[in-house]
Each structure stands twice: as C-alpha cells, then as structure tokens.
Amino acid sequence: MKNAKNRCQRLEHDLQDLHTHQDYEVKERSLSLEQTRAKYQRELEDLTKELEEERNSAVNVHAENRLHVT
C-alpha cells in the first residue's frame, strides 16, 4: 500500500512538473510571437513611411513637369 502511495505521489509530482514546463513553453512562445509581431509592425511602419515619401516625391516631380510644359 505504501509503495502504491509513493508511486501516486511521484506521478502527481511528475504531472505538476509537466504542467509547469508546459506553462513556461507557452509563455516563451507568446513572448517570441509578440517580439516577432512588433518587429514586423515596425518594419511595416518604416516601409509605409518610405512609400509615402516616394509618393510625395513623385507628386512633386509631376507638378514641376506640368509647370515647365505650360
């Protein structure tokens, strides 16, 4: 009986360790996902800004060309 109780306690301990490890892995994945999301969000913002600057430059060139034509 004592042997069965010890095995049960060991299994409960192993199960708790497994849950703790899984919780840690979930937190690590969430952190990694958030860091990746933030990285690509910054990159998207930079590219959007660069695209807007290029668009403004093209509009200015177009406007200058129209002034010289008339």
Give the pTM: 0.65
What is the per-residue pLDDT for 70? 62
Q: Whole-angstrom Cα distance, residue 20 to residue 30?
A: 15
Q: Which two three-digit tokens encode residue 13? A: 């301990």
Q: What domain range includes position 27?
A: 1-70
What is the per-residue pLDDT for 1? 82
Question: Within the chain, which residues score under 70 in pLDDT?
Answer: 70
Number of folded domains that form the chain: 1
List Cβ neighbours of 7 (8 Å cut-off, separation of 6 or more). Answer: none
What is the per-residue pLDDT for 62? 93
